[in-house]
Amino acid sequence: MIKTSSDPKHPRFLSNFYRDLLSEGVRKGITSLQGLTAHGRGETFDYLMGEKTCSFARVSIQAAASLLLLSKFPVISVNGNTVILSGKGLVKLSQLINCPLEINLYHASKLRERKIFTYLQNLGGMNILLPDKTKIKGIYSNRKMISKSGQKMADLVFIPLEDGDRTRALIHLGKKVITIDLNPLSRTANDATITIVDNIVRALPLLIQVITQFRQLSRNELQSKLNSYDNKKNLARALRFIRKRLAELA
């Protein structure tokens, strides 16, 4: 049960609720303070898009489901914000596609890594990886620290919520990247193979639902869905949608 200081009458009740949830995540030692601000950045894009899953996000979710089912060794990268906002969903996804959850933090903290590990275990997470001494080149932050049994070997990394450097570095290594990013202009959004421009709390349950449906499909059918997807065009649709909304709101 989450305590929230927000009043249900407040027009920003739901975003206040998630703010309180993440603040509780800080008190638990899971979310970083800077993660709260990063969340706020996303909030604005969500607000500009009307806080709904748009058609361009649904298209990306279908492509993401196909790619996750087609890939040989996918890895789900998690951080303090994602586990607090969508911990259960992330554990469910890792079970559904039988892949590890790898903890990867922007701000280095062994204590926070352990807390996230235990938190995911308590949610039923079985295959959880911590960074070892393996590194990715081209990243300045602690995000360079990865697991040799996870991202190092992966052909696909699912990175919900990210700060940019890592997606580019992983793509340079020939890996594919799926991201959930509310900012269609971000480096992550533009570098990723598939970008779901949506709020993780709405997109992840939908992704799980689509994967469950798509499990019935053949590899050819999945590949054909994937081939018809164009990430750049989809991001441009998201931007056009925001512009249209701004014109309406003005």
Positions touching a copy of itself (CB under 8 A) are: 5, 7, 9-12, 16, 19-20, 22-23, 26-27, 33-34, 36-45, 47, 107, 140-141, 163-164, 183, 185, 187, 236, 239-240, 242-243, 246-247, 249-250
Q: Which is nearer to a copy of itself, 68 or 161 (CB)?
A: 161
In the complex, least distance from residue 23 CB atom to a copy of itself, rounded to whole angstroms: 4
In the complex, least distance from residue 43 CB atom to a copy of itself, rounded to whole angstroms: 5
Q: Which is nearer to a copy of itself, 102 or 165 (CB)?
A: 165
Q: Which is nearer to a copy of itself, 11 or 174 (CB)?
A: 11
The Cβ-side half-sphere exposure at 112, using a 13 Å CA radius, reads 23
Q: Which is nearer to a copy of itself, 164 or 205 (CB)?
A: 164
Under 8 Å CB-to-CB from 72, ≥6 apart: which residues? 155
The rounded distance, in Å, linking the Cα atoms of 190 and 73 is 23
The CA distances from residue 47 to 156, 199, 201, 203, 246, in Å, are: 30, 10, 14, 15, 11
In the complex, least distance from residue 239 CB atom to a copy of itself, rounded to whole angstroms: 4
In the complex, least distance from residue 194 CB atom to a copy of itself, rounded to whole angstroms: 19
Q: Which is nearer to a copy of itself, 41 or 110 (CB)?
A: 41
In the complex, least distance from residue 133 CB atom to a copy of itself, rounded to whole angstroms: 21
Retrieve residue 91's tokens: 């554990």
